[in-house]
Structure 1
Amino acid sequence: MTSQETTTGPGTAGQAVRRAVIVTGGSRALGRATTGRLAAEGCDLALCGRDPESVETAAAELREQHGSTVHAECLDVLDEAALDGFVRRSAEALGRLDGLVACAGGARGGDLLTATPEDWADTYRLNVGHSALALRAAVPYLSRTRGSAVLVASVSGWKPAPPAQYAAAKAAQIHLAASLARELGPRGIRVNCVSPGSMLIPGKGWDRLRQQDPEAYRAFEGEFPMGRLVAPEDVAAVIAFLVSDQARAVNGANVPVDAGQNAPSAYGY
């Protein structure tokens, strides 16, 4: 079964229904590529983000371009009550839940000597804490459909690169997926992790480097055997596969989508 196909769930009496997936951070960058891929494969969606305009724009485009039912909310995933409520409202609005993609993430603070304890705590909460809380809220719904979750980590979680608080949080996220796969497996829920390599996203860090320091950017391309950075669409395709029933035997895995990248930093290990 692919994401393009319909599935059946409890109480449907064999009636075909559309799969429903939540994507946190689903209005921009990799999150937006992921919601677009899932919508193109026939999924209904719920997404959240911090910027009202991007959330509204993404939802409108998904409805118009793919005919998807979309539940969208503006929130910060560090707000635990708001995140918990978003997951529950999304499942109710969509009528079911087949997948959760914890895509929101990032880093707070600089290097070890300048980052504050609050920066470390917020980076952990933003990546690991939000993933765990969203999945906890989703468990009652995913267990009904034998659904799955995908946590978006990073190549930095297992190939050392600064800042250390981000690398440590991403490493924890990878282990979180493996641990929860064992814990939630008896409930019929799969949990996997995707570790994207450095992605070329318009307006973001590597795109700015390409424009501001072309020589450094060309040197960084040498960290990739095929000479190019990862596209968000490449990662979104793997996420869509892991959410689908085609990946029903994939559980507790960390799937690198890094094009064979060596150092995850333009300045080496």
Structure 2
Amino acid sequence: MTDETPEVGQRARAERFTGRRVLVTGGSRGLGEQVVRLLLSEGAGVATCARKPEFLETLRRSSGRADALFTRSLDVAVPGPLEQFVEEAASTLGGLDGVVACAGGARGQGISEATAQDWSATWEVNVGHAARLIATSIPHLRAAGGGSVVVVASISGWKPGPQAQYGAAKAAQIHMVSSLARELAGDGIRVNAVSPGSMLIPGKRWDRMRRDDPPAFDRFRDEFPGRELVLPEEVADVVAFLLSDQSRAVTGANIPVDRGQNAPTPDGY
């Protein structure tokens, strides 16, 4: 039992990131956008990057707190610009209390068709970018007395599905998190992973399937015990929890947010 009223609880939630500085990669659309908007709504100063400047500008105009949002257009898979962005973000925000490696993706098809470049590109945009983001952020998190790192992985990291290069990269992210949580604990830095299931994001694959091929979408819903896909807002709530002091005893964890999903794609396995 608690003596806290609902109003007090809501006020504490609205203020839990006041004065905090958080960097989020891939924050212009989808899950990353939801994380950025949630952090801004709860008082954080936020820095985010994405490849397309027009999406960043749309985010800025609609954020309601443009003065608290620092953006930069770049490709996280390219070494150099991301590291420079971390330094610029820390300087602009006055430090960093948390970072979220949200950018990700995949390239190539099955093992017979995928090239070495497909495997390399998929690794770099997922594992490589997250590793370089964390490494560059450590001095700033250490200067803040510690902080929280969240890596957005996927249930594809342990639930088999096509393509193998994507699942292998996500599995590597999850392992990296468990290792770095121990390595950085002495600096007061927590490191965790969030593994979303298939998210229903407007304009993306599952939303297009729902619109263009309702029977296939209905079959895919059978992979979920409750027959409902995950919403990006639901995943963003878990990311924010891991960034907050509410999770101060949580590190080295991989938290699935998948509604109990079975296969990660309609293609089975």
The match for 2:190 is 190
Aligned-residue offset at 1:67: 6.0
Superposition TM-score, scaled by structure 2 size: 0.93
Residue aligned with 1:222, SS: helix
1:49-71 deviation per Cα after TM superposition (whole angstroms, max 9, x unaligned):
00010011112322xx2465111
How much does 1:98 deviate? 0.7
Please provide the CA RMSD for this pair: 1.5
**Which position in structure 1 is the counterpart of 2:4?**
none
Note if 1:51 corresponds to 2:52. Answer: yes
Q: Distance in 2 between matches of 1:186 and 1:61?
A: 39
Q: 2:243: which partner in 1?
A: 243
How does the TM-score come out when normalised to structure 1? 0.93
| Structure-1 residue corresponding to 2:5 | none
For the residues of structure 1 that align with 2:91 and 2:13, how far apart are their CA atoms? 20
Gaps of 5+ in 1: 8-16
Q: Is the 8 A contact 1:194 1:257 kept in 2?
A: yes
Matches of residues 135-150 of structure 1 in structure 2 within 5 Å?
Answer: 135-145=134-144, 146-150=146-150
Aligned match of 1:5: 15
Between the two proteins, the alignment pairs up a number of residues equal to 258
**Shift, 1:185, TM fit:** 0.6
By how many angstroms is 1:6 displaced? Answer: 6.1
Q: Give the conservation status (yes or no) of the 8 Å contact 1:106–1:166.
A: yes
* Cα offsets for 1:74-104 (capped at 9, x unmatched): 0000111000000111011000111100000
State the shift of 1:197 in Å: 0.2
**Take 2:245 and 2:67, find their aligned partners in 1: how far apart are those partners?**
19
- Output aligned runs, 1:47-126, within 5 Å: 47-62=48-63, 65-66=64-65, 69-126=68-125
Distance 2:133 2:211 in 1: 37
1:33 alignment partner in structure 2: 34
List 4+ stretches of structure 1 deviating above 6 A: none
* Letter of the 1:61 counterpart: S
The CA distance in 2 between the partners of 1:205 and 1:111, in whole Å, is 18
Q: Secondary structure at the match of 1:156?
A: helix
Instruction: Answer yes or no: is the 8 Å Cα contact 1:39–1:68 preserved in 2.
Output: no
